[in-house]
């Protein structure tokens, strides 16, 4: 039957088969979860469709978190489909590539606001909508990075955004805890994905982690996926407000 049998979850942020969200989706589907996926724009629709088929997942529409009407439509679709929700995965972040290089101090007002809206506020916005569909409790999970805690080269405004995201996890955990809705984050080690390719010198960061992490290697989307499944399952029923590192142990030395 599986650890996720009977659970229904919305997964946001599958761009392709290397996405961290795809690793989490696969782990949940393997344990019997029923899934709904969103995509951002028609370019991604084509890539997400075969993945949804493989996972036996529903596609609940286009979602750009800067357009609240698309979020409304996605949650209305989920409500129509299931009437409730057990978990949500938020694997969404964005910043102008130009500013994931050089100095943080040069961040523009426009990109700062856009980065915060897409990478931080969207999780709170999603949490609020999910709450309405979780009368019996649930689990919300987002993805963060060590650049929230320590200065990482070129991570810049995204590091500031991830710090805000991690603080959001704690505030949301308190707000929603009374309804048995748990809120956690996984701080993943660097993985070569579409989003990561925008970060300056990313190959160097991967290599640095291979040399320095206790496990002497980087992590895979499957490894993040298995840890994600734990947070979305009842195995973690006593855990909320947590930022859990899945990074080959890098954070203990870096």
- Return residues touching ligand 0WD (CB under 6 A): 13-15, 19-21, 39-40, 44, 63-66, 91-94, 118, 143-145, 188, 190-191, 193-196
Which residues, 6 or more positions from 4, have their beta carbon under 8 angstroms from its beta carbon?
A: 28, 31, 32, 33, 229, 232, 233
Annotated active-site residue 155? The verdict is yes
Q: Which of 22, 145, 146, 250 is catalytic?
A: 145
Annotated active-site residue 250? The verdict is no
Least distance to ligand 0WD from the beta carbon of 147, Å? 8
**6: alpha, beta or left? (left if phi > 0; alpha if psi -120 to 50):** left
Least distance to ligand 0WD from the beta carbon of 180, Å? 25
Please report, in angstroms and rounded to a whole number, the separation of the first and last CA atoms in the chain.
40
For residues 82-106, one letter each, b for 16 or more C-beta atoms within 10 angstroms of the residue's C-beta and e for the rest, the string is beebbbbbbbbbbbeeebbeeeeee
How many Å apart are CA 106 and CA 99, to the nearest integer? 8
**Count of C-beta atoms within a 10 Å radius of residue 170:** 15
Is the Cβ of residue 138 or residue 189 nearer to ligand 0WD in the bound state? 189
Q: Is 139 helix (H, G, I), strand (E, B) or coil?
A: strand
Which is it for the CA torsion 199, 196, 149, 212, positive or negative? negative
Q: Which of 39, 155, 230, 250 is catalytic?
A: 155
Is the Cβ of residue 180 or residue 242 nearer to ligand 0WD in the bound state? 242
Least distance to ligand 0WD from the beta carbon of 34, Å? 19
**Count of C-beta atoms within a 10 Å radius of residue 115:** 24
Is the Cβ of residue 40 or residue 240 nearer to ligand 0WD in the bound state? 40
Rg (CA), the chain: 17
Is the Cβ of residue 138 or residue 250 nearer to ligand 0WD in the bound state? 250
Least distance to ligand 0WD from the beta carbon of 70, Å? 8
Is the Cβ of residue 45 or residue 179 nearer to ligand 0WD in the bound state? 45
Least distance to ligand 0WD from the beta carbon of 158, Å? 7
The residues that are catalytic are 145, 155
């Amino acid at each position: 039957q599986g650890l996720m049998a009977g659970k229904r979850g919305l997964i946001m942020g599958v761009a392709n088969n290397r996405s961290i969200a795809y690793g989490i989706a696969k782990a949940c589907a393997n344990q019997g979860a029923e899934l709904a996926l969103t995509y951002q724009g028609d370019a991604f629709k084509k890539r997400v469709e075969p993945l949804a088929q493989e996972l036996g997942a529903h596609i609940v529409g286009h979602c750009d978190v800067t357009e609240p009407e698309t979020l409304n439509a996605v949650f209305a679709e989920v409500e129509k489909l299931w009437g409730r929700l057990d978990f949500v995965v938020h694997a969404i972040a964005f910043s102008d590539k130009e500013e994931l290089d050089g100095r943080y101090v040069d961040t523009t007002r426009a990109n700062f606001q856009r980065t915060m809206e897409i990478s931080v506020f969207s999780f709170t916005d999603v949490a609020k909508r999910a709450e309405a569909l979780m009368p019996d409790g649930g689990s919300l999970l987002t993805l963060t990075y060590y650049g929230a805690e320590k200065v990482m080269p070129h991570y810049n405004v995204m590091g500031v955004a991830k710090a805000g995201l991690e603080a959001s996890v704690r505030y949301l955990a308190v707000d929603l805890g009374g309804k048995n809705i748990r809120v956690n984050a996984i701080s993943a080690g660097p993985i070569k994905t579409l989003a990561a390719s925008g970060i300056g010198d990313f190959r160097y960061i991967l290599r640095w982690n291979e040399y320095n992490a206790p496990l002497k290697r980087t992590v895979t989307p499957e490894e993040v996926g298995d840890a994600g499944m734990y947070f979305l399952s009842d195995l973690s029923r006593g855990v909320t407000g947590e930022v859990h590192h899945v990074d080959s142990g890098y954070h203990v030395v870096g």
